[in-house]
Amino acid sequence: MNETDALKKDLDALRKDLRELAESVRSSGEQRYQDGLDQARHTYEDLRSQASKRSQEVGAEIEARPFTSVFAAFGIGLVLGKLLR
């Protein structure tokens, strides 16, 4: 085996190693992307559930005390109107 053949063999091994490394990096990146996406979906669902629950609580409070709710909304509107002038 001469030097040229040894060099070719080494280059082939290097190419193979680089392909495996690139595949590993790609696979790792895809997994991290999927994990982030799953976490974002979970967070979205949690926030959506909490918002729905709070909305129902506010609706129940308004139904329980309609006049107080109207006066509170009116007062908040007046304060915001004065602040935004």
pLDDT tens digits for range 22-38: 999 999 999 999 999 99
Structure tokens at 8: 């070719």
Q: Could you tell me if 69 and 61 are in contact, meaning their C-beta atoms sit under 8 angstroms apart?
A: yes
The residues near 61 (Cβ < 8 Å, ≥ 6 apart) are 69
Question: Tell me: the pLDDT tens digits for 37-54?
Answer: 999 999 999 999 999 999
Residue recorded with tokens 């979970």: 42
